[in-house]
Amino acid sequence: EDDPRPYPSTKRLTLVSNRLPVTINRSKNGQFQYHKSSGGLVTCMSGLGPDQSSNWYGWPGSVESHHNCKVRAELMQDHGAVPVFLEQELASRHYNGFSNSVLWPLLHYQDSLIAFKDCDWQAYQKVNRQFAVEIAFNAADGDTVWIHDYHLMLLPQMLREETEKRGKRLVIGFFLHTPFPSGDMFRILPVWREILEGVLHSDLIGFHAPSYDTNFKRTCSDLLKLVELPTGVQFQDRFVRTSDFPVGLDPEKILDCLQKDEVKRRISALKEQNPNMKYIIGVDRVDYVKGIPQKVDALDLFFEEHPEMLRKVTIIQVAVPSREDNPEYRDLATRIHQRVDEINTKYGDQSYQPINLIHQSVPIEDLLALYASSDVCLITSIRDGMNLVSFEYVACQSERRGVLLLSEFAGASERLAGSLLFNPWDKEGTAAALHRALTMDMDERTVNHRKAEEFVMKNTRYGAYDFKYPSRLRKLTCKNRSAHW
């Protein structure tokens, strides 16, 4: 209550997510190190930094630097970020426990991986409350607070409670970056009511894809018996608007980066290394929702059926390390390495390895060079909120007009015209789609690429977020003030 920290600025839009655009950890010699966080949430929200009149609250990663003034000042100054420092065990129960071992598998239909523990649920509530108290302390009456993702689903309700105690009223938006499953799946969660009601204290709730919005409204009407309308649901005395707001990238930034000498050099080097090789690119966090084992199995079948493609095709799979404290993720990484080794032994030799697995975080310049040099991008997610890798690939393909092979279980598939859709559970179908992509003629590739490019260039993160979403929130401020306040 008596936190002496001043509100970092007088800006009126506040972003909140568990993951900040930079994550901090401590090196062996005790220095704090900042590195860019990976993941679609950070990619699409990063443009809304200090220049976009926002402060961004979040957990800075595993830091024992509670109330460290230097860290706080550097985060604010360089990234517009306001750290919410969490005690280590609490953070772990919230992040590894309830968020990533209950909500993440639930929202991605992986019910066999759900590990519900009451102590993790308690921690989830405490962390959401801590965010609410810190934000409420600094917020001004009438501010817009825009909350992101499944780590903070109780925050809309808690923030209302904390601000109303202080006589302040906020406009609250919530955006879910994952899918929202059907009600029959969602009710597996022992605390489904608390989570649904927590989110429903928002004024506006956004999803990546129309089907997630439909599932959410249907779940509210089936489980909570709320009245469902095309534009939202009636909850208590307020109408909560819901809709899909597909996020995009900043394609200009990608195009600028592609012009850098450094990136051009890398593209030429890849070409010179093997001028006749066709490259298939995959970029995924090592996460079971990305379907990397399914991808490797389909590649195995593809080479079995098309031995003529050996030595002509190489798959470059960037596997970005993710959530390594979670044994499920560590086991997955081990399984991927084993399967890739098997395939490389089966089809390769010292001069040729069909799969080049890069299990590390790759700098953006390398990533863009790989996208630009690849003939096909293969995305096999078994569930995925949106998948921004698909957009990044399209943005890098104006010359090559490569083929985007996209799982129909990625949210992007509901939007991105011009991609070849397939079902990653169908190994034969995936292998056949891959063959079709690799042998597609330039005319068809051009037509497809133009459609995809048009969407990616138009549906930028500025279009989707900066103008549409916050301006709708602001409009709601006026409406709700007269209707409910």
3-state secondary structure (DSSP) of residue 397: coil
For ligand G6P, the closer of residues 48 and 267 by Cβ is 48
361 binds, among ligand ADP, ligand G6P, none (CB under 5 to 8 A by kind): ligand ADP
User: How much is the CA Rg of the chain, to the nearest whole Å?
Assistant: 23
Least separation in angstroms between CB 116 and ligand ADP: 23
Least separation in angstroms between CB 128 and ligand G6P: 15
Alpha helix positions (H), 80-209: 88-92, 104-107, 118-138, 155-165, 183-186, 192-199
Residue 387 makes contact with ligand G6P by CB under 6 A? no
Least separation in angstroms between CB 151 and ligand ADP: 13
Q: If you ran DSSP here, which 8-state letter would residue 189 be given?
A: S
Residue from 64, 62, 57 nearest 7 by CA: 57
- Rounded to 5 degrees, what are φ and ψ at 122? -60, -45
For ligand ADP, the closer of residues 297 and 392 by Cβ is 392
For ligand G6P, the closer of residues 134 and 284 by Cβ is 284
Residue from 367, 368, 399 nearest 256 by CA: 368
Using CB under 6 A as the criterion, which residues of the chain lie in contact with ligand ADP when the complex forms? 36, 38-40, 43, 283, 285, 320, 361-362, 367, 386-389, 392
CA dihedral sign of residues 356, 392, 53, 165: negative
- Return the residue of 13, 16, 21, 40 that touches ligand G6P, per CB under 6 A: 40
3-state secondary structure (DSSP) of residue 306: coil
- Return the residue of 8, 19, 245, 370 that touches ligand G6P, per CB under 6 A: 19
Least separation in angstroms between CB 23 and ligand ADP: 10
122 binds, among ligand ADP, ligand G6P, none (CB under 5 to 8 A by kind): none
- Return the residue of 15, 16, 24, 41 that touches ligand G6P, per CB under 6 A: 41
128 binds, among ligand G6P, ligand ADP, none (CB under 5 to 8 A by kind): none
Instruction: Give the integer Cα–Cα distance in Å for 166 and 326.
Output: 39
Number of alpha carbons in the 13 Å side-chain half-sphere of residue 87: 7
Least separation in angstroms between CB 115 and ligand G6P: 16
Instruction: Give the integer Cα–Cα distance in Å for 74 and 81.
Output: 9
392 binds, among ligand G6P, ligand ADP, none (CB under 5 to 8 A by kind): ligand ADP
For ligand ADP, the closer of residues 362 and 432 by Cβ is 362
Strand 403-407 and strand 376-379: the pairing is parallel
Instruction: Give the integer Cα–Cα distance in Å for 216 and 351.
Output: 52
Task: Give the residues lining the site for ligand G6P (CB under 6 A).
Answer: 19, 39-41, 149, 177-178, 322-323, 385
